[in-house]
Amino acid sequence: MKEINVLVTGAAGQISYSLLPRLISGETFGSNTKVNLKLVEIPPVLDKLQGTVLELVDCGFSNCGSIMSTSDINEAAEDCDWALLVGSIPRGITINGKKIEERGDLLHVNGGIFTDQGKAIGTKGKEDAKILVVGNPANTNALIGKSNSNNNSQLWMAMTALDANRAKAQVSIKTNRSIEDIKGMTIWGNHSPTMYPDLDNASIDGKSVSEIINDSNWIENDFLVRVQQRGKEIIDARGASSAASAANAAIDTVKNVENDTEEDTWFSAAVASDGSYGVPEGLIFGYPLRTENGKVEIVQDLELKDYAKAKIEITTNELLE
C-alpha cells in the first residue's frame, strides 16, 4: 500500500475536527493509500489535540497510518507530501492585551507564523510537496509561506473552494439544478469580500449560468453579495466561523489536485500568478485550474466581460495593498 505524509496545522481546532477523519478514511487519497498524519498545534492545546488523536484511532480506519502530535513545525514538516495549513490568528482575537482588528496587525501576527512554516516546509518537505493554506488571510499567508520556502518545485495554494462551493449552492437553489450539473465555477482573486465568483464562464449543460439565470439584478445585488458575505452570515448565525464547510472545501481541493480534471470543467484555487489575465506575477490569486497528468495549470483564454474585469481589478488591488 502506498504511503503519504500529511501535515496539518491548527489540528485541535474546529475545522481540523471535521477534516482529519476524512483524510484517513480512504475518501481523499484513495483506498490504496495509507496516510501518516503530522499534526501541529501550539503547546497550550497539545493535550486537547491528544483527545482528537484518540478519536481518530478509535475510528478504526484501515487507511490510517502513524499519527504524530507536536508543536514543532520543523519536526512535522519532515518528508511531508501535503501540508494543510489550517491554523492562523483570526481577526478579533486579543493578543498581549490588543484586539487584532486592523489588516496590518493581522498580517504582522500571521507573518511570523507563515514565515516559519514556509521555511520548514521548503527545506524539509518533499520536493513536490503540495501546500494548501486555509487559515486567513489565506492568499497573503500563502504568499508569505511560499516566499520563505525558497522552493519553487513545491505547489503553494490558498483555498477558494469554499467560496466556489457557496457559489454553486446558490446557483443550484436559483436554477433548481443539482450541484453536480454546475461546471467550471471560478473564484477570481482574493479569499475576501472582494472575490469575484464568475457565472459567465460557469456552465450547466454547456450553457453559461449567467445566460440561464438571465437576471443581472439578482446576480449583482443578491448572488454576489450573498457569496462574498457568506462567511459573516455564518458567524452571525452560529457565533463561530465556518468549520465543516471549510473542511469539506479543503478535501475538495486535495481531490482536485490529486486527480486529473474531467473534460470541459475546472476547479478553483489561488496559486502564484504567472501573469495570466493581467494579474501581476507572483501574486497568490484565485484562478480557474485544471490538473493534467498530475500537474496543476491555469486555464487560459476565458472570455471576461468588462464587468468581470472591473471586479477582478478590485480584488487584485486589494492583494497589492
pTM for the predicted model, two decimal places: 0.95
Active site residue: 130, 166, 191, 290, which one?
191
| Nearest to 271, CA basis, from 262, 261, 279, 260 | 279
The class (CATH top level) of 2-158 is: alpha beta
Which pLDDT value is given to residue 168?
Answer: 98
Which pLDDT value is given to residue 102?
Answer: 62
In which order are the strands placed within the sheet that holds 33-40? 64-70, 33-40, 2-9, 82-85, 130-133, 155-158, 267-272, 284-292, 295-298
Distances (CA, A) of 74 to 9, 86, 217, 219, 310: 12, 16, 51, 46, 42
Domain ranges of the chain: 2-158, 161-320
Q: pLDDT (tens digit, 9 = 90+) per residue, 14-67?
A: 999 999 999 999 999 999 999 999 999 999 999 999 999 999 999 999 999 999
pLDDT, the chain, mean: 95
CA–CA dist 300, 317 (Å, integer): 21
Percent of the chain with pLDDT over 90: 87
pLDDT score of 100 more than 70 = no
| Nearest to 41, CA basis, from 15, 80, 4 | 15
The three-state secondary structure class of 82 is strand
pLDDT score of 123 more than 90 = yes
Q: pLDDT category, 89, cuts 50, 70, 90?
A: confident
Q: pLDDT (tens digit, 9 = 90+) per residue, 186-223?
A: 999 999 999 999 999 999 999 999 999 999 999 999 99
Let me know if 191 is a catalytic residue: yes
Q: pLDDT (tens digit, 9 = 90+) per residue, 253-289?
A: 999 999 999 999 999 999 999 999 999 999 999 999 9
The class (CATH top level) of 161-320 is: alpha beta
Element holding 183 (H helix, E strand): strand 182-183
Residues 6 or more apart whose Cβ sits within 8 Å of residue 38: 5, 6, 7, 8, 68, 70, 75, 76, 77, 78, 80
pLDDT score of 101 more than 80 = no
